[in-house]
Every structure is written in C-alpha cells, then in structure tokens.
Structure 1
Amino acid sequence: MMRGKMSFWCWLLGWTIATALAGAPAWAQQKNGFDLSQALIPASQILHGGPPRDGIPAIDQPRFADPEDARLWRDEDLMLTLDREGRSVAYPIGILNWHEIVNHRHGGSGVLITFCPLCGTGIAFDPVVDGRYLTFGVSGLLYNSDLLMYDRQTESLWSQIEGRAVAGPLAGTHLERLPVRHERWRDWQQRVGDRGRVLSTDTGYHRNYRRSPYGDYDHSERVFFPVSHTSRKYHPKTWVLGWEHNGEAKAWPFPELAKHGDTLRDRVGGRPVVVHYDAGVPDATLTTETGEPIAAIRAFWFAWYTFHPDTDIFEVP
C-alpha cells in the first residue's frame, strides 16, 4: 500500500481506523451488514478494512493449469501449496494478495484457501461443518488486523487465524485446519513433478498479479490497524511458525531457527513435534515424530503474538 509518498490506500486505511475508533453506537451492532450483537469478541475491535463486503472478490470458480502452461511465474515467486490425495496444488501468493479466499470444491469434498496479506497468514481449512459444505467471502472487516471472512450460508463471521466463527449463527464453531507449505515456484515444481496443478490467472478479474497492492508492507515496521497485544521482542514482520496444542502456544521465530539449523525436535502441550526449517524460502513446517504433517501457521510475529500473548518462544541459548 505504500510506495514512496502516502498513497490513496494509506489515506483510506487511516480514515477507516479513525472512523471505527470513533464508533457510533449503531456500529457496535452491525458493520458491512453483519450482525455483531452477540459477537464473541468485542464489537468495537472489529474494524472496517476499507473495502466493502466482497470488495475483495473471493475466487469461487477456480481454474487450474499445468505448471508448464503457467508462464507468469518466476522461479523465486512464492506459492501456498497443499498436498492432498496424491496430488499437489499451488496457489500463487501473487493471486492470493488480490483475492484472499479461494473456494476450491472437487467432488464431494473441497478446501478453503485463505490468505491475509496484513498478517502474512496463508491457511487452508476443511470447509465442511456438521456435514454442510460452506463457501466463504471477504467481509471487508478485520479483527486484530486479520481477515474476517464470512460464510455465505449463515453469514457468520470467522477469524482466519483462530479458525473460529466469532459472530453469527455459527459463533463458537471451529474449522479444521489443513497443513500447507510456502514454496518457491521452481522448488515446488521440482518436488511434485507431474503431480502438480497451479491456480490459473484466469480468475474472471483483471488484476496485475505480478504487482502486490501492499508495496513494501512485508518489510515495514508499520502495522496499519490496532491490535490487542504488542511485543517489540522481534521486528513486527519477522516470520514465525506458530502452533497451539492442549492450551499451550509456541512460536519458532525464523531468525532463531536459522541459528539452530534445519531440524528441531520440540514439545508443545505435551506432544513431541519436529520443526523443519527451509532458509531458502524462508519457511518452516511442523510434523509428528513419524513425519505426519501438522497444520501450523506461518505468520508475522505481531500477528501470532496478538492472538497468543502468552506464547512460548523458541530461542537459541
């Protein structure tokens, strides 16, 4: 959103924050048409992100291409990748920056791909709740600077990082997270070979998928929206891997993993886990001791911390 001088988008974000914090009483009950009267989080902390509901359009009818036909992407471009049922699918971050949600249904099942550019969080979910397949859109609202998505069947609001409905008829319900990786385009192709498909740029929308609308945000210390808890222990945009189990949360900051090495054995909530660090991306993934993937979250430090202020932190002695 920032390139050199203040852009229109930065001005709009500033106006949004000021207006939300000013808070007319009616806003505590409804924002962007969503009923917040019985929200599980403070309604005053649910902020307008700037665009209206569906102003950032989710991809509802995704098309996929063979990697050799996807000529837009360069070797170092980042993909959010999901391995499932013997196949692997790459969702380019260049596309997710503009759409944030992909409703990918195949057969009787499907997957919900979500990405919050403000928190750096790419998270996949199983969209089936109590036997009902849900489809999701971008609400235009934020909580702790994170994407609040909504399901179109009940109009419940869902916190992306929590994977939990925080307002509406499904409030308190959780989505099951699915393990994903962040990989460079070249590395993913080499790993999966002919088992891979990539989300096509034929999305039905005209966007420059080679340009991020967020400028240098990933490296700036600036966080556009207020958050509940802050820590200056690391740069706000330091990458961490985070996971919570049995009420215990832990973060593995990438600078600490870089000092430690590629593989780390650890324990969270009484469960042994193995952290695998790839400095080339950079990325980190979590598995069981037997190698089964665990759905941990790659996030900016500020984002993990604000949702988990009591988190343990791995540090090299």
Structure 2
Amino acid sequence: MKKQMILSMIWLLAFWMTGCSAQSKNGFDLEGALVPADHILSGGPAKGGIPAIDNPRFVKAGKASFLKSDDPVLGLNYKGLARAYPINILNWHEIVNDRFGAEPVVITFCPLCGSGMAFSADIDGKAYTFGVSGLLYNSDVLLYDRQTQSLWSQLMMQAISGPHKSKPLRSLPVLHTRWEDWRTQHPETLVLSTETGFKRDYRNNPYTDYLEKPQIMFPVTAVSRRYHPKEEVLGLELEGQFKVYPS
C-alpha cells in the first residue's frame, strides 16, 4: 500500500509539473467535462504520442507466423467478416481505425486495464477516426476523435468532453480469446499484420513489469474491498444494470 501511494504521488507530481491546468490537459479543453477534471490524469505520452493504426494491413490466418497458439487476440466477426487483432500489437498502439465494408470501426485496447472494446465509428452518419489522447480516467484510456477533438471514455462508452459530450458510442461484440481458439472458430479470419508502418518490437510486451507487480500506477476513484484493482473480471451491462464476475 505504501509503494502504491508513493507511485501515485510521483505520477501526480509529474502531471502537475507539465504545467497543465485543471481545465486543459494535453491540449484538450475539459471545461464542463462529465467527470471531475482533476481525475483525468496524464499517462505520460503527449496527444498522439502512442500512434493509432490508421491504415491496417491484414494477412490470412496461415500467414500469421508471428502468432503462437496461446497468444491473446481481440476477435471481431461483423458484417460477414472475421478479423483478429493481436494484443501484442495493440499494446503498442491501443487504437486501430478500420472499416468493415462501408462502416468505419474503431478497435480499442487499454493495456493498463486489459480492456478491449470495438465501436462503430459512424457517428450521426459521419465517419470518424480516433487517436490516443495520452490521458486516463480511472486508469483507462481516453480516446479522442480527430474531427471535433472530443474526449471519449472507452469503458464508459461515451464522450466526456468536447462538442460530442454525452454522446454514446455503439459497441460491437468483440471477443477476448486465444489465437488458436479464434482460428478454429473462424478459419477464414484475417489477422492484423505487424507491418504497421511503425518500428516496434511486437514480440515483447512493454507492460510486462506492470502486469507482474501488484501495485497500480495511477489512482482510481473507487477501490473494492473484495477484489484487487488488477483482478481480471468479466463485466456485464444489461438494460442499465451492471455486474462483474471474477474470471
């Protein structure tokens, strides 16, 4: 607990030393945000410092030699198309701006939470693209759309600031699974290629140390007495009710 408090203090001090005001962080206007502005923290990288993948390339399952059978992937079977997004790649980029047919889709992953979600990027009939803001709320990634600079919470599935504040994102049924299981269920699947246009070591996880240690790096607004903050869980939302099941 003492180490956790020290880590939190270090990150909060670093945040304030960046000179960001409570109402403007990483260049985003937080005036009137749906969540307290002082609970939105800088994760370290600048806006866009973690580069989203905007022109994803895919390979057939048989060509995905960079994947082992037990490697985790996010799988999306949508509009008759099956695609797998390796976590080893998402750890470095967090966002993939993709298209399924004519519909724009954004794949999102937060390495600190282990939360992967997919959304339709068609908002009010207009195609949007998203980037990584470099900001966090409750240790979860905040996206931003490049068209209006609104900030969007991945887990809250809505915009929390900017012109689109309060507008929801329509989630798509993405599956957290192993590569072997996804390929068995969807032998025709395509796989996000390591040819991303960026030089990254996709064989290694930059968050290994964080995942192996019990401390969290950033404070959260609520802590359960029953479960550790890093406990892996399944979350269910149904008709406005929320439940969680430890995995």
Query: Normalising by structure 2, what TM-score?
Result: 0.92
Distance 1:246 1:84 in 2: 23
Q: CA deviation at 1:239?
A: 1.5
Contact 2:23/2:37 (8 A) holds in 1: yes
Seen in structure 2, the aligned counterparts of structure 1 residues 14 and 81 have a Cα distance that, compared at 3 Å, is farther
Contact 1:12/1:50 (8 A) holds in 2: no
Seen in structure 2, the aligned counterparts of structure 1 residues 42 and 23 have a Cα distance that, compared at 3 Å, is farther
- Output one character per residue of 1:1-50: Cα deviation in whole Å (capped at 9) or x when no partner: xxxxxxxxxx99864322336896x6112111111112111111111100
Larger Rg: 1
RMSD value over aligned CA atoms? 2.0
Q: Which residue of 1 aligns with 2:51?
A: 57
Q: Which residue of 2 aligns with 1:293?
A: none
SS of 1:28 mapped into structure 2: coil
Query: Is 1:20 the equivalent of 2:20?
Result: no
Give the alignment of 1:152-167 within 5 angstroms.
Answer: 152-167=146-161
Q: Which residue of 1 aligns with 2:3?
A: none
Q: Which residue of 2 aligns with 1:231?
A: 224
Q: Which residue of 2 aligns with 1:251?
A: 244
Distance 1:12 1:58 in 2: 27
Q: CA deviation at 1:182?
A: 1.4
Structure 2 counterpart of 1:145, one-letter code: S
Seen in structure 2, the aligned counterparts of structure 1 residues 23 and 237 have a Cα distance that, compared at 3 Å, is same
Structure 2 counterpart of 1:16, one-letter code: W
Q: CA deviation at 1:110?
A: 2.2
Q: Percentage identity across aligned positions? A: 52
Seen in structure 2, the aligned counterparts of structure 1 residues 45 and 103 have a Cα distance that, compared at 3 Å, is same
- Output one character per residue of 1:278-300: Cα deviation in whole Å (capped at 9) or x when no partner: xxxxxxxxxxxxxxxxxxxxxxx
Structure 2 counterpart of 1:57, one-letter code: P
Distance 2:100 2:241 in 1: 35
Unaligned runs of 5+ in 2: 1-5
Q: Which residue of 2 aligns with 1:114?
A: 108
Contact 2:82/2:186 (8 A) holds in 1: yes
Contact 2:79/2:101 (8 A) holds in 1: no
Distance 1:22 1:59 in 2: 30
Across the two proteins, how many residue pairs are aligned to each other?
Answer: 242
SS of 2:142 mapped into structure 1: strand
RCO higher in 1 or 2 (8 Å CA, sep ≥ 6)? 2
SS of 1:217 mapped into structure 2: helix
Residue of 203, 206, 210 corresponding to 2:196: 203
Distance 1:66 1:146 in 2: 31
Seen in structure 2, the aligned counterparts of structure 1 residues 40 and 79 have a Cα distance that, compared at 3 Å, is same
Unaligned runs of 5+ in 1: 1-10, 255-317
- Output one character per residue of 1:255-279: Cα deviation in whole Å (capped at 9) or x when no partner: xxxxxxxxxxxxxxxxxxxxxxxxx
Query: Normalising by structure 1, what TM-score?
Result: 0.72
